[in-house]
Amino acid sequence: MMNEEQRRQSRITYLRRQQDRRHYLNDFLLSISRIAERPILATAVLSLEETHALAHKLYFRDSQNPVYSVTFPFSQAEKLRKIISSLKPEVTDPKTYFATGRFYKSFFLQLDSAFALENFEEIIELDTNTFYLYHKDLTNGLMLDSNEENWTERGKTQYIWTYGLRVWGKDWVEKIHKAYHKHA
């Protein structure tokens, strides 16, 4: 059972998420619509309660799922695009979940998310870091983020911007693994 302080903190968190939705959701939908080159309507946005429940399910998902993780320098964005495009048939389902790192706890969208695979650079730029795609049954997922890190290639180390791709779930890991080796 929650004590008074926990209830107060929970209420503050809820109000902050509501505030994020009020202040940023319309601009976010306009930006995503521009990136997707189609209108993304408010009907695609999960309620705050649905978003909270979904984030909770994702937090407690099966830890034994296969995971595939690989990093690409920004200069290899086209190679990354070819690899992640192998998931296009999976994410065209209108029940696919989409979220960005910045608003992960404030709102999720449920929509055909294929635009995210083709336009990942613009989404990363919009969010300044990360986006997520989840299969409708949450058995598979993808996270793509950007970081500055040391990158060593042919014996030379540089501090550069990279994309970190992390995929989980048997089906999506298998597709990404095959695509990676096809385009390596």
Which of 4-18, 40-54, 161-175 has maximum average pLDDT?
Answer: 161-175
pLDDT for the residue 1: 62
132-141, pLDDT tens digit by residue? 999 999 999 9
Q: Please give the average per-residue pLDDT across 41-64, as a whole number.
A: 86
- Calculate the average pLDDT of the chain: 90
Find the domain containing 58 and state its range: 4-183
CA distance 83 to 181: 9
User: Can you say how many angstroms the Cα of residue 81 is from the centroid of all Cα atoms in its chain?
Assistant: 15
Position 120 pLDDT exceeds 80:
yes
CA distance 156 to 163: 19
pLDDT for the residue 71: 95
Buried b (16+ CB within 10 A) or exposed e, 148-165: eeebeeeeeeeeeebbeb
Single out the residue of 145, 134, 45 nearest to residue 91, CA to CA: 134
3-state secondary structure of 144: strand
Q: How many domains is the chain partitioned into structurally? A: 1
